[in-house]
């Protein structure tokens, strides 16, 4: 049972480049989410999904897109990377909504230069 798997673990981008962070879960969880973690700011919600075909914005959605075509996968796309998007990104899933235990992936450390 792998839980929540994120790839890649590390990534360096140049300003203006685009990329997709991958997230997959094998627990048949309905709810998936993306957070970014910055020093002194905790975990901030970027986007979330309550099921396949349904996504919604969180606290800091600008500059990011998501889609949920299957229950298992929830990729995060950076459209045009900016230095302000340098952060550690965590994908998480939970059985139902955001009011149940969240299981996190191992994180992606992204640096935009």
Question: Where does this chain bind other proteins (CB under 8 A)?
Answer: 31, 33, 35, 40-45, 48, 50, 56, 58-59, 90, 97-102, 104-107
Shortest Cβ distance from residue 112 to other proteins (Å)? 21
Shortest Cβ distance from residue 58 to other proteins (Å)? 6
CA gap 79, 40 in Å, rounded: 26
Please answer whether residues 50 and 57 qualify as being in contact, where contact means their C-beta atoms are separated by less than 8 angstroms.
no
Shortest Cβ distance from residue 70 to other proteins (Å)? 19
CA gap 38, 87 in Å, rounded: 6
Task: Pull the structure tokens for residue 25.
Answer: 């879960």
Task: Name which of 64 and 90 has its Cβ closer to other proteins.
Answer: 90
């Amino acid at each position: 049972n792998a839980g929540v798997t994120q790839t890649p673990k590390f990534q360096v981008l140049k300003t203006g480049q685009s990329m997709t962070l991958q997230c997959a879960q094998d627990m048949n969880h309905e709810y998936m989410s993306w957070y970014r973690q910055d020093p002194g700011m905790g975990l901030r919600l970027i986007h979330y999904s309550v099921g396949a075909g349904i996504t919604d914005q969180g606290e800091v959605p600008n500059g990011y897109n998501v889609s949920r075509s299957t229950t298992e996968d929830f990729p995060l796309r950076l459209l045009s990377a900016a230095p302000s998007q340098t952060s550690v990104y965590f994908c998480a899933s939970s059985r139902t909504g955001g009011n149940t235990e969240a299981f996190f992936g191992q994180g992606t450390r992204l640096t935009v230069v």
